[in-house]
């Protein structure tokens, strides 16, 4: 089996067929319909919708950062309908216990007097879990999601329980209010494929929201996918071709963001405490395919790598204390590295 690094990227040549192209085009059209259905209830914020859909197409999870009232919960509820998934919501609070998420075993007495334990499933046994204000729960409760997010199963009383496929966690977090919260540890942050910043809408979008949501009737989303179709879409995405140039761009970007690597700039060495690991490169490899698919293209380009740099890398890096004291922020650092790489490739 041969491979080509030009037109078909790192996908085996005999797998890039007209049938594959037809499947990708059909999926692109279906995704366009899904986006149209989502925006009936979640108005504007196209970038946010694209990023969350990208995470789901890649089989991953997303962390949504934004102030209250920006529609994060509404978006997740709409996604559950449009993607045909069984949804559940957990409001994270300081007194939330792991059993409140995973479920627990209860001792039941039968009519004949015999006793036996019965497992009662928690809300994690769904396909789309909204973990609302995830940083308000204690680290013990936050860690209850780690196995579910990575292995798609949970262990209760020593017994493993598989979760229903597909399984996605969309967690929300208020980036400003930190009183009474427990910051997510790096190990859990790394489980999120992308970080999505939900900003204030512009004036025209906010006007549309006012008109659409304060009347007697509201638009309703409709189902476009089923769970089985989403699983097939996730498998198809991994068959999309990726060019050698794009792969090199991913490697250049990830390694340039790691301090003390040969590719790192003096600014990275001075400002970044630690950089993204191999999982970040894997996330970029998947999300650039999703972005191309949502844009109606058959293969990703170097521009997709630049566009996905911040959502994929920002929660997988940390600044030094001195950099924070200087008022620097990771978003600007990543944008600078990505822009420099883009300029260098254009000049080459």
Residue 314, domain CATH: 1.10.8.80
Q: For residue 255, what pLDDT band results from cuts at 50, 70 and 90?
A: very high
The predicted-structure confidence for 42-85, as pLDDT tens digits, reads as follows 888 889 999 999 999 999 999 999 888 888 888 888 999 999 99
- d(CA 14, CA 69) in angstroms, rounded, equals 50
Kindly state whether residues 164 and 298 are assigned to the same domain: no
Both structure tokens of 335: 């944008």
Site of tokens 């911040």? 310
The predicted-structure confidence for 123-174, as pLDDT tens digits, reads as follows 999 999 999 999 888 888 888 888 888 889 888 878 888 999 899 999 998 8
pLDDT of res. 276 = 92
Kindly state whether residues 8 and 22 are assigned to the same domain: no
Kindly state whether residues 134 and 270 are assigned to the same domain: no
Kindly state whether residues 8 and 57 are assigned to the same domain: no
Kindly state whether residues 311 and 259 are assigned to the same domain: yes
Asked whether residue 27 is domain-assigned, the answer is yes
Kindly state whether residues 327 and 345 are assigned to the same domain: yes
Give mean pLDDT, residues 237-263. 92
Kindly state whether residues 194 and 260 are assigned to the same domain: no
Kindly state whether residues 36 and 128 are assigned to the same domain: yes
In three-state secondary structure terms, 98 is helix
Asked whether residue 60 is domain-assigned, the answer is yes
Asked whether residue 233 is domain-assigned, the answer is no
Asked whether residue 234 is domain-assigned, the answer is no
Domain boundary among 200, 227, 254: 227
Residue 58 per-residue DSSP state: T
Query: What ranges make up the beta strands (E) of the chain?
Result: 62-65, 87-91, 103-109, 115-121, 128-132, 153-156, 159-162, 168-173, 194-197, 272-274, 318-319
168-173/62-65 β-pairing: parallel
How many Å separate Cα 346 from the centre of its chain?
A: 30
Q: For residue 15, what pLDDT band results from cuts at 50, 70 and 90?
A: low
When divided into structural domains, the chain yields a total of: 2
- d(CA 119, CA 68) in angstroms, rounded, equals 35
Both structure tokens of 49: 């919708």
What domain range includes position 101?
17-227
Asked whether residue 38 is domain-assigned, the answer is yes
| Least confident residue range of 156-165, 192-201, 276-285 | 156-165
Domain boundary among 227, 252, 278: 227
Kindly state whether residues 256 and 269 are assigned to the same domain: yes
Kindly state whether residues 52 and 159 are assigned to the same domain: yes
Kindly state whether residues 46 and 165 are assigned to the same domain: yes
- d(CA 282, CA 62) in angstroms, rounded, equals 15
DSSP one-letter string for 278-311: HHHHHHHHHHHHHHHHHTT-SS--HHHHHHHHHH
Tell which residue, 98, 100, 107, has the closest CA to residue 123.
Answer: 100
Asked whether residue 236 is domain-assigned, the answer is no
Asked whether residue 127 is domain-assigned, the answer is yes
pLDDT of res. 10 = 55
- Indicate which CATH number applies to the domain containing 96: 3.40.50.300
Q: Where are the alpha helices (DSSP H) in 238-277?
A: 244-256, 266-271
Domain boundary among 172, 204, 227: 227
pLDDT of res. 3 = 37
Give mean pLDDT, residues 180-184. 79
Asked whether residue 248 is domain-assigned, the answer is yes
Both structure tokens of 153: 């199963």
Kindly state whether residues 109 and 24 are assigned to the same domain: yes
């Amino acid at each position: 089996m041969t491979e080509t690094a030009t037109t078909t990227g790192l996908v085996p040549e005999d797998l890039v067929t007209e049938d594959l192209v037809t499947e990708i085009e059909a999926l692109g059209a279906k995704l366009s319909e899904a986006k149209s259905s989502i925006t009936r209830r979640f108005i504007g914020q196209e970038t946010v919708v694209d990023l969350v859909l990208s995470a789901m197409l890649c089989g991953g999870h997303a962390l949504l950062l934004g102030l209250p009232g920006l529609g994060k919960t509404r978006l997740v509820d709409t996604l559950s309908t449009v993607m045909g998934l069984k949804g559940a919501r957990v409001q994270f609070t300081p007194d939330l216990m792991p059993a409140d998420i995973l479920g627990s075993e209860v001792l039941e007495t039968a009519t004949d007097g015999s006793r036996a334990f019965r497992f009662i499933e928690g809300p994690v046994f769904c396909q789309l879990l909204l973990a609302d204000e995830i940083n308000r729960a204690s680290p013990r409760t936050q860690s209850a999601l780690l196995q579910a997010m990575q292995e798609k199963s949970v262990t209760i009383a020593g017994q493993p329980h598989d979760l229903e496929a597909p399984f996605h966690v969309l967690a929300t977090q208020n980036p400003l209010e930190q009183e009474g919260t427990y910051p997510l540890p790096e190990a859990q942050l790394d489980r999120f494929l992308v970080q999505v910043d939900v900003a204030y809408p512009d004036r025209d979008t906010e006007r549309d929201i006012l008109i659409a949501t304060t009347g007697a009737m509201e638009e309703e989303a409709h189902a476009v996918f089923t769970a089985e179709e989403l699983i097939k879409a996730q498998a198809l995405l991994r068959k999309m071709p990726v060019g050698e140039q794009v792969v090199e761009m991913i490697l250049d970007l990830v390694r340039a963001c790691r301090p003390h690597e040969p590719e790192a700039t003096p600014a990275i060495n001075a400002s970044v405490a630690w950089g993204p690991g191999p999982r970040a490169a894997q996330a970029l490899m998947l999300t650039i395919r999703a972005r191309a698919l949502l844009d109606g293209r058959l293969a990703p380009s170097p521009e997709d790598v630049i566009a996905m740099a911040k959502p994929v890398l920002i929660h997988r890096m940390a600044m030094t204390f001195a950099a924070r004291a200087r008022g620097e922020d990771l978003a600007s650092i990543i944008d600078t590295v990505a822009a420099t790489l883009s300029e260098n490739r254009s000049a080459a």
